[in-house]
Amino acid sequence: MENLQLHNEDCINVLKRLPDKSIDLIATDPPYFRVKDNDWDRQWPNEAAFFEWLEIVIIECARVLKDTGSIYLFASPQLAAKTEHLMAKHFAINNHIIWVKTSGMFKRQCKASLRRFFPQTERIIFATHINGDQRRLQDLAHAQACKPIIDYLVDALHSANLTQSAVNKQLGTSMAGHWFGRSQWRLPNQDWYQQLQQFVGPTLDKSLDELKAWENDLLKHRQHPMKRYFNVDGADWYTDVWECGPVQYYDGKHPCEKPMRIMEHIINASSQPNDLILDPFMGGGTTGIAAIQNGRRFIGCELDGEYFANATARLST
């Protein structure tokens, strides 16, 4: 599949043509319903009709998303609770993320004229397919695929005549079972691994970067479902509150354009290089730019011809 596919048509038509379980990550910002004065945000006669339409989109997103994929869907603060409730019918909700805008219209409000608290936030619903049983099976499959790495770590531990309990006691942690076992196995982070190397000794001679590369290679060639990718190690945002200014006006700006920093964070946290990213409501094309610049493939849909032309121009530069 090409690295970039852009569609100037209704996203529901495009979604229906996509194969089942073909998308690694969906990151999108659908209309909020009567938040903007634009026709595309006011095409439904009432809120019920809006959510009836949105559920059609969500059902198709659930169908095309891989079992190990993730979806991030933006929502207005006014309808975020109802949007999350709708999403929960078709996905497992991981987070209700609050995007706090560090600048914007709230700074120009006349407080005496307000009849409610002025919204300074937007919401992002982060969801996946995974339920408890699937997570357990995927954890086991992940450990099975990475058995050569686990064997390397366990052999180093035995060569040093050490036990998992000794590691936990020495390092003041309870993580040894994850590093040397097969239940929810994972590699330690850099700080823990350096402490392990000092404690275990020269038998643990591979660097953490070497182990990560080894893990990626093993997962690349496996036939079983992969564990869902999620990594915020080293990221500024690792909680469910993200502070970021909105996109400042420029000629041709989409009225709902999301900051590049937010879209890059979503893409890097929940996808890997060469993964396929989908944005059914591409708008100005920021999701696609973030995807391509970070080595992913991208499918974008935008119904409005002018916005589509602007997004295409931005993605071609």
Higher pLDDT, 150 or 250: 150
How far is it, in rounded angstroms, from Cα 212 to Cα 191? Answer: 15
* pLDDT for residue 19: 95
Over the stretch 252-288, which tens digit does the pLDDT of each residue have? 666 677 899 999 999 999 999 999 999 999 988 999 9
* pLDDT for residue 60: 94
- DSSP H or E stretch at residue 62: helix 47-64
| 95 pLDDT higher than 70 | yes
- Model-level pTM greater than 0.75? no
Pairing of strands 297-301, 276-279: parallel
* pLDDT for residue 254: 65
Statement: 4-130+228-316 belongs to CATH 3.40.50.150: yes
Among 249, 247, 253, smallest CA distance to 314 is for 253
* pLDDT for residue 193: 93
* Token representation of residue 309: 């032309």
| 225 pLDDT higher than 60 | no
| 86 pLDDT higher than 50 | yes
How far is it, in rounded angstroms, from Cα 233 to Cα 212? Answer: 13
For 84-100, what is the mean pLDDT? 94
E strands of the chain, at which residues? 4-7, 23-28, 65-75, 92-100, 121-128, 241-243, 276-279, 297-301
How far is it, in rounded angstroms, from Cα 125 to Cα 273? Answer: 23
